[in-house]
Amino acid sequence: AAPAAAFIPQDNFLIDCGATTAITSPDGRLFKTEPQAAQFIQAADDFKISVPAADVPSPIYLTARIFIQEASYSFHLTQPGWHWVRIHLFPMNNTIFDLQKATFTVTTDKYVLLHSFNVNNTNQAFVKEYLVNATDPRFTIKFSPQKNSAAFVNAIEVVSAPDDIINDVASNLLPVGNYPGLSNFAFQPVYRLNVGGPLITSSNDTLGRTWAKDDVYLKSPNLAKNVVVSASIVKYPQGGALTPLIAPQMVYASAVEMADAGVNNPKFNVTWNFNVDGAFTYLLRLHFCDIVSKALNNLYFNVYINGQIAISDLDLSHTLGALAVPYFKDIVVNSSFVSNGLLTVQIGPSNLGSGDLNAILNGLEVMKMSNTVESLDGEFGVDGRQETSGSRRGTVAAVGFAMMFGAFVGLGAMVIKWHKRPQDWQKRNSFSSWLLPVHAGDTSFMSSKNSARGLHYLHTGTAQGIIHRDVKTTNILLDDNFTAKVADFGLSKDVALGQGHVSTAVKGSFGYLDPEYFRRQQLTDKSDVYSFGVVLLEALCARPAINPQLPREQVNLADWAMQWKRKGLLDKIIDPLLVGAINPESMKKFAEAAEKCLAEHGVDRPTMGDVLWNLEYALQLQEAFSQGKANENEQGGGESTPATDNRPVSLPEESNKSPAEVQATIDEHSGTAMFAQFANLNGR
């Protein structure tokens, strides 16, 4: 069958931001100039910049718009449905703002495309590409700079995609079965490879896609052999859904096969490795076309994804009835199968013992799928944004964060007191009825820090210490003055000086339990340190330690947050109310303290004194930051952008529980009342 005619999109919005003259891209597409695009943009203030010449792949990167405040582009769609959204970015030098330091968020009405994004000192032009199922006639892209930062964009594309570009049902890797409802997701193509062949530019793809070479992703290139044939021999199936709109002929005219194809006993697979964000689920589209066989039913092979068999004994000629006929397979890989941010695809011969001992792959697409809150970057969605005074919300967030700092600095000092001043407990009749007040601040941060320092300064000299064994947020009470009180000492144990640990049955609360204590039943003061680390993460992320309503990989806060921390992306899962209100260095120190508390082995965890020192230092950084903000506001009186409301995860639709029952389930594991006080600060 001859290739289908070029696809003509119903919607074709191409905007060269900041340009005053018409620009034609290298693939022959005409971009609108700034005056022609004026009807699409809404911005309180913006700046247009340009450079005379630069080493860029397209002239669309020679101009840009910079936004100091929130701005948006709105388009009226002729035909709602699947659309390509491409955001072109190049941090060019200019006198307005250092774009290397620009941090901003990009959203649509429904999806988060980029969250707290910056170019990370990249001085190259690049494009962020998305595939979005736009169901409303009006489609908006919003740019929201972080406080005291800026957003920028060089060019924008909103272009119709074919209706059948994404099938609604794919195969699921594990458990084996179908994965329906793909039309309800947005996608970000992370990798798109022409396996075994050359680079395919957008000029040679009717949908404007670029297909990169695969060689840099091969684990052992010596085990792979490239095969390239004339594109004319590739025959698309008659009347089928597979057309050049799925992938151009050039993709199917090249392949990688096993380097030692046909040998008697090839004991290897060809492997590709990809770095991905392990917090997201991915749609893999594998492209096949048997251009290596000389006869039908002579090639049987397996495909593996992260060590799991994804396709078994694939015989393309039997499936399609001919050779050199394109075929593709969609497979969904849940984030729980992505280990250490690595996605692996392998091909190898079948074990059937017939045909050639060979395997092939022609093309591969790896697409990130939007998560439960409709985000493709980070863990917070766009829903819940309130049209209120941004400056007030920012101030509330800063005050709340500093008060949390004070409360937990005080808690750190108090836990040290447990370990160092056990004689105080002897004056009480019951641990469970004893409440120890620790002043976390009499409306000032300094008093909280000083009281914490005073408690930390107390020395021991007694023969025993106390381990609380149940440090968690529901045992930390805050009154209206944010005075922290720790309750419920019914599980506490005393430890003789020099003893090191107490052998005892495991007791405590899930989500806070020291894993070493859980395994060995040996309780130490470092068990409290571990629990305290979880409390710090709860304060930072505004979610409970255990939330059984979330996907499996997100249920345990300590494990989930540390995955993001190790990737350097913890800022994407913190409470949105804190975004822009926290000094990045202060948050970094705070997060490091939590990470050290959560070390796998107690010997690797700090003492509470060390934790307290780190929190005091983080608090000092935050105080200096907040004071600087206050001075700026007094001098400039500028407005701030509204902060996002904290609604990190929506409840699964299939749940039969009422909202009250769901909340009770969550509260059973970890309290949320503590955070409700901070959420309602602007009502006090």
Q: Which of 631, 628, 633, 564 is nearest to 594 (CA)?
A: 564
Q: What angle do CA 629, 631, 634 make, to 5 degrees?
A: 110
Q: 347: which residues sit within 8 A by CB, 6+ positions away?
A: 256, 258, 269, 270, 301, 302, 303, 304, 359, 360, 361
Neighbours of 136 (CB within 10 A): 11
299 bridge partner residues: 356
Active site residues: 470
Torsion of CA 262, 263, 266, 271, to 10 degrees: -50
CA separation for the pair 338, 345 (Å, rounded): 12
Q: Do the Cβ atoms of 376 and 188 come closer than 8 Å?
A: yes
Distance of alpha carbon 439 from alpha carbon 406, whole angstroms: 9
What are residue 425's phi and psi, to 5 degrees? -70, -25
Q: Which tokens hold the place of 73?
A: 């582009």
Neighbours of 299 (CB within 10 A): 27
Give the sign of the dihedral formed by CA 402, CA 407, CA 408, CA 413. positive
Nearest to residue 527, comparing CAs of 603, 460, 452?
A: 603
Q: Which residue has the tokens 């792949």?
A: 57
Cα–Cα dist 523/504, whole Å: 7
Angle between helices 525-541 and 390-420 (to 10 degrees): 170
Cβ 89 vs Cβ 124: under 8 Å: no
Could you tell me which of 44, 45, 46 has the C-alpha nearest to residue 17?
Answer: 46
Tokens representing 323?
A: 């050779």
Of 578, 550, 529, nearest to 650 by C-alpha is 550
**Distance, CA of 264 to CA of 34 (rounded, Å):** 64
Question: Which pair of structure tokens corresponds to residue 232?
Answer: 């004319």
CA distances (Å), 428 to each of 324, 434, 468, in order? 83, 7, 15
Return the ∠ at Cα 368 (arms to 275 and 245), rounded to 5°. Answer: 115
Q: Residue with structure tokens 């907040």?
A: 626
- Which residue matches tokens 């170019």? 119
DSSP label of 375? B
